[in-house]
Chains A and B, each alone.
Chain A
Amino acid sequence: DTGVSQDPRHKITKRGQNVTFRCDPISEHNRLYWYRQTLGQGPEFLTYFQNEAQLEKSRLLSDRFSAERPKGSFSTLEIQRTEQGDSAMYLCASSLDRGSTETQYFGPGTRLLVL
Chain B
Amino acid sequence: SQKIEQNSEALNIQEGKTATLTCNYTNYSPAYLQWYRQDPGRGPVFLLLIRENEKEKRKERLKVTFDTTLKQSLFHITASQPADSATYLCALDPTGANNLFFGTGTRLTVIP
How many angstroms between the C-alpha atoms of A101 and B100 in the bound complex? 11
Number of A-B contacts (CB under 8 A): 62
- DSSP majority for the B interface? loop
Q: Which residues of B contact A91 (CB under 8 A)?
A: 43-44
Over the window 97-112 of chain B, the binary record of Cβ atoms lying under 8 Å from chain A Cβ atoms (1 yes, 0 no) is 1111111110000000
Q: Which residues of B contact A101 (CB under 8 A)?
A: 31-32, 49, 51, 93, 98
In the complex with contacts A106-B44, A106-B45, A44-B104 CB distance below 8 A:
no
Pick from A31, A42, A48, A108: contact of B102, CB under 8 Å: A42
Name B11-56 residues within 8 Å CB distance of A: 31-32, 34, 41-46, 49, 51
Task: Name the CB-closest residue of A to B102.
Answer: A42
Pick from B42, B46, B49, B105: contact of A42, CB under 8 Å: B105
A1 to chain B, nearest CB (A): 13
Does B64 have its Cβ within 8 Å of any Cβ on chain A? no
Contact of A48 with B43 in the complex, beta carbons under 8 Å: no
B43 to chain A, nearest CB (A): 3
Pick from B43, B51, B100, B101: contact of A109, CB under 8 Å: B43
How many angstroms between the C-alpha atoms of A33 and B43 in the bound complex? 13
Contact of B99 with A42 in the complex, beta carbons under 8 Å: no
Q: Which residues of B contact A111 (CB under 8 A)?
A: 41
Over the window 92-115 of chain A, the binary record of Cβ atoms lying under 8 Å from chain B Cβ atoms (1 yes, 0 no) is 010101000111111111010000
Does B9 have its Cβ within 8 Å of any Cβ on chain A? yes
Contact of B43 with A45 in the complex, beta carbons under 8 Å: no
Q: Which residues of A contact B31 (CB under 8 A)?
A: 101
How many angstroms between the C-alpha atoms of A41 and B42 in the bound complex? 14
Over the window 36-55 of chain A, the binary record of Cβ atoms lying under 8 Å from chain B Cβ atoms (1 yes, 0 no) is 00001111110010000001
Contact of A44 with B102 in the complex, beta carbons under 8 Å: yes
Task: Name the CB-closest residue of A to B90.
Answer: A42
* Given A48-B97, A106-B44: 14 more A-B contacts, CB < 8 Å: A33-B100, A42-B91, A42-B103, A42-B105, A43-B44, A43-B89, A48-B99, A55-B97, A101-B93, A107-B43, A108-B42, A108-B43, A109-B41, A109-B43
